[in-house]
Chains A and B, each alone.
Chain A
Amino acid sequence: MKTVLITLGVIALLVVAVFAFGASSYNGLVNQSQDVDAKWAQVQNVYQRRADLIPNLVNTVKGAANFEKSTLTAVTDARASVGRVTLDPNKAPTNQAQLDSFNAAQGQLSSALSRLLVVAENYPNLKSTENFQTLQAQLEGTENRISVERGRFNEAVQAYNSSVRHFPTVLFAGVFGFQPRAYFTATPGAEKAPEVKF
């Protein structure tokens, strides 16, 4: 009788312990995944901000006498292809390939834009206008914001992914359906300044 009671007690204790542990790791995972989603929304935000700047930029540059057409087309094309790769802004992607194609499209727009800024150096009349200088400052600002928010997003994903994959949270992550999230990998050549040939 006594041994039965003791066994029951031990089992009850174990159940309580497992439940408490599961609850705390579940809550931890929920917090981390919400953090990832919040940072992802921020990333989308800053990319959108850049996309919104482009019509204005294109119009300003177009006004400059015989501005190199190919540079402008590259920007508008890249802007269009960015618009085709849309990801849910409220939930960070779990599919790495999806994020990679998003990243590639955005990377193309980045290089088209920085090329445009480099080419603009050859148009002193354009460069000296207030409008262009303002746009340039805004463009540099968004690029900087993008790199900041991407960096923070990657940090959040790393923290979340390592929780999801490590023992013992991995036991609960599978049960509750927490999947590892995709993160930004550097696009090849993105760190290089664009080459401009005349």
Chain B
Amino acid sequence: MSHSSRFLRFFAGLVFACALAHSAFGQESLPPKPDRYFSDRAGVVDLETANRLNHELADFERETSDQLLVAIFQKIPDGFERDDFTVKTAHAWSVGRRDRNNGAILFIFVNDRQVRIEVGYGLEPVLTDATCSLIIRREIAPAFRQGDYARGVDSAVHAMMQACRGEYHGTGRTLADSSLHGISSWMVGTFVGILLLLGWVTRRRSYGYGRSYDTGGTWFIGGDSGSSSSSSSSDSFSGGGGDFGGGGSGGSW
């Protein structure tokens, strides 16, 4: 018994070590995909501005289908060059729609005083390298030099929106809105289907036992009514498979 348990422990340890090694070396450790348009991991922008910009960026996707993100980091992770890190992260987060590649991310690395706008293939014609460079030099750098991150990010985001507006048209929904709808209607459909089946089975049974017609066929309707509309107004981000090819510009302040 002690033999087998020791073996099991050894085996579990081996599996764990392999998993650890895989996560450490198998993939480069890129940051996880954010669930908001505006993510500030360095804590330099006040909550009110962060929430407002997050909402504006979600609305911008509803209007244009473009996904613009802001990602603020403490520093560039060890072992990465800035531009290498940003394009790999943008690729991994798959910002923008798959068929349009219309995503862009404003990366900020506070301690390194580095900034980069990474632009998806589909936005390269409007958010050109030169435009991005201008946004960095005119909107971001002056404000950041004064330590006013909120103002710099705010005006940069608006400049990016202005450049992108008109290139694509939105559906009035973000991808997160649609997928929430998609999932819940799918779940509701299955749920209703199961209940119908149950209702049918119990009805047959109750006929068989000579009981009166019971409520089995009707009580599911209550479950259907208010289930899908609750979460549709949240401003969470969900990537759509857009890709990046290193367009955009970088700078420092």
Is the A/B pair a real complex?
A: yes
Q: Can you report 14 A-B residue pairs in the complex whose CB atoms are below 8 A from each other?
A: A133-B137, A134-B130, A134-B133, A136-B133, A137-B133, A137-B134, A141-B129, A141-B246, A141-B248, A142-B129, A144-B246, A145-B245, A145-B246, A147-B246
A37-50 to B contact mask, C-beta < 8 Å, 1/0:
00000100010000
Given that A42-B245, A137-B249, A149-B245 are known contacts, is A144 also in contact with B83, CB under 8 Å in the complex?
yes
B134: chain A residues at CB < 8 Å are 134, 137
A35 in the interface (beta carbon within 8 A)? no
| Complexed CA–CA distance, A42 and B129 (Å) | 18
A131 to B95, CA, bound (A): 31
Q: Which of B165-219 contact A (CB under 8 A)?
A: none
Residues in chain B near residue A147, CB distance under 8 A: 246
* B132 proximal to A (CB < 8 A): yes
Q: Is A100 an interface residue (CB 8 A)?
A: no
B247 interfacial by beta-carbon distance below 8 Å: yes
A138 at the interface (CB under 8 A from B): yes
Cβ–Cβ < 8 Å partners of A46 in chain B: 245
By a CB distance below 8 angstroms, the chain A residues around B249 are: 137, 140-141
Q: How far is the CA of A148 from the CA of B247 in the complex (A)?
A: 10
Which residues of the other chain, A, contact B245 by a CB distance below 8 angstroms?
42, 46, 145, 148-149
Complex interface: chain B residues within 8 A of A149 (CB): 245-246
Interface size class of B (residues with CB under 8 A): 10 to 19
- By beta carbon, the residue of chain A nearest B130 is A134
- The minimal Cβ–Cβ distance linking A39 to chain B, given in whole angstroms, is 11
- Which residues in A have their C-beta under 8 angstroms from that of B83? 144
User: Across the interface, which residues of A come within 8 angstroms of B133, CB to CB?
Assistant: 133-134, 136-137
Whole-angstrom distance between the Cβ of A192 and the nearest chain B Cβ: 15
Assuming A42-B245, A140-B249, A141-B248, is B129 touching A148 (CB within 8 A)? no
Q: Is A148 a contact of B246 with CB atoms below 8 Å?
A: yes
Q: Mark B226-253, 1 if CB is under 8 A from A, else 0.
A: 0000000000000000001111111000
Report how far A142 CA is from B83 CA in the complex, Å. 12
Binary interface encoding of chain A residues 123-153 relative to chain B, with 1 for a CB under 8 A from any of its CBs, else 0: 0000000000110111011101111110000
Closest A residue to B133 by CB, please name it: A137
State A194–B83 Cα separation when bound (angstroms).
20
Q: Is the CB of A137 within 8 A of B132?
A: yes
- A186–B5 alpha-carbon span in the complex (Å): 51
In the complex, how many angstroms separate the beta carbon of A141 from the nearest chain B beta carbon?
A: 3
| B105-140 with Cβ < 8 A to chain A | 128-130, 132-134, 137
Since A140-B250, A147-B246 are in contact, a sample of 8 more A-B pairs with Cβ atoms closer than 8 Å, ordered by chain A residue number, is A133-B130, A133-B137, A134-B133, A136-B133, A137-B129, A137-B249, A145-B247, A148-B245
Q: Return the CB mask of A41-74 against B: 1 if under 8 Å, else 0.
A: 0100010000000000000000000000000000
Contacts A144-B83, A148-B87; A137 near B246 (Cβ below 8 A): no
Kindly supply a per-residue 1/0 record for chain B positions 62-89, scoring 1 wherever the CB is within 8 Å of any chain A CB and 0 otherwise: 0000000000000000000001000100
Contact flags A145-176 to B (C-beta < 8 A → 1, else 0): 11111000000000000000000000000000
CA distance A102 to B245 in the complex (A): 21
CB A77 to nearest CB in B, in angstroms, measures 25
**What is the CA–CA distance of A137 and B134 in the complex, to the nearest angstrom?**
9
Output the nearest chain B residue to A149 by Cβ-Cβ distance.
B245
Cβ contacts under 8 Å, A133 to chain B = 130, 133, 137
Nearest B-chain residue to A133, judged by Cβ: B133
Chain A proximity mask over B132-155: 1 for CB below 8 Å, otherwise 0:
111001000000000000000000
Q: Which residue of A lies closest to B132 (CB)?
A: A137
CB contacts (< 8 Å) of A148 on chain B: these are 87, 244-246
B53 to A: closest C-beta gap in Å: 25
Nearest Cβ on chain B to A57's Cβ, whole angstroms = 13
Q: List residues of chain B with CB within 8 A of the CB of A145.
A: 245-247
A179–chain B nearest beta-carbon distance, Å: 27
The 6 closest A-B pairs by CB, nearest first: A141-B129, A137-B133, A148-B246, A134-B130, A145-B246, A144-B246
